[in-house]
Amino acid sequence: MRKIIVGSRKSKLAMTQSQQFIDKLKEKHPDLDIEIKEIVTKGDKIVDVQLSKVGGKGLFVKEIQQALFNHEIDFAIHSLKDVPSELPEELTLGCIPERENPFDAYIANNHVKLADLKPGSIVGTSSLRRGAQLLAKYPHLEIKWIRGNIDTRLNKLETEDFDAIILAAAGLKRMGWSDDIVTEYLQEDTMVPAIGQGALGIECRSDDQELLDILKSVHDENVETCVTCERTFLNEMDGSCKVPIAGYATLENDEISFTGLIMSPDGKERYESTIKGTDPVEIGKQVSEELKAQGAYEIIKKLNEEA
């Protein structure tokens, strides 16, 4: 068995989730010799600017993809929500493992519920998607930009003028934080998750059949079905981090239910549709067509032109 080099961002969360995935792979293939190579991406270098203002897609994956092209690594472990909806032809998602909690975690000082926050309360998030959905439902709140890893943000909640912050539940769970720290997990009716949130995307070269066969052992077909629907919608809508876009698919008894959402950053315009069916690509396209018919693409066009 050859030695396998795995590419990962060097953040604490990325390294932790990479190690967790490798451990799962080794449960199926104990003889694998795997080494992690840390790679710094453009998104990791930009810590003082809101990502939506940087522009471009693949801020956290391009350098890692280049390492795949250069044969410096054999596969990459990404948070799927960071992966653009279209991949270069030579690369493929060889595996999508079991999904962690896809929802957002709301963490407040003194565990004050979101609905009980007083007017003018400050909620920290670096996501346009979260900010827009919050303002739509709670226009009396103030959104303040926050960046940094989980520990940094939790520390800012305690030491700066934030009343609450919102993080991806998956990151907290993978880093071993207890549920006790979370005031509420925000369900879909309050906040539709980011596309692919909670899922990992394992990217490799399309022609590496030996590796593709190994990765198949930890692949989750149900998760793949759901995220295919979400990512089809993202691609059809030309979504990026500059656009408040959300999408979440579930699968029950072979029926997919998918909700797609586009909003203006101030939360005042909202375009949403839910469709059920069995073909993930078809459903993603149908929701996209419905939102475009409602006028949602005008928001995307405007935000992309502002870049």
Count the Cβ atoms, other than its own, within 10 Å of residue 70. Answer: 8
Residue 230 and residue 300: Cα distance in Å, rounded?
A: 17
Task: Label residues 263-299 b or e (16+ Cβ within 10 Å = b).
Answer: bbbebebbbbbbbeeeebeebbbbbbebbbeeebbeb
**Helix, strand, coil share of the chain (percent; to 5):** 40, 25, 35
Residue 142 and residue 162: Cα distance in Å, rounded?
A: 10
Please tell me which residue in 82, 104, 163, 208 is annotated as part of the active site. 82
Give me the residues paired with residue 106 across strands: 166, 184
Confirm whether 48 is a catalytic residue. no
Q: What are phi and psi of 103, to 5 degrees?
A: -90, 175
Residue 89 and residue 255: Cα distance in Å, rounded?
A: 30
Q: What angle do CA 64, 152, 140 make, to 5 degrees?
A: 110
Catalytic amino acids?
82
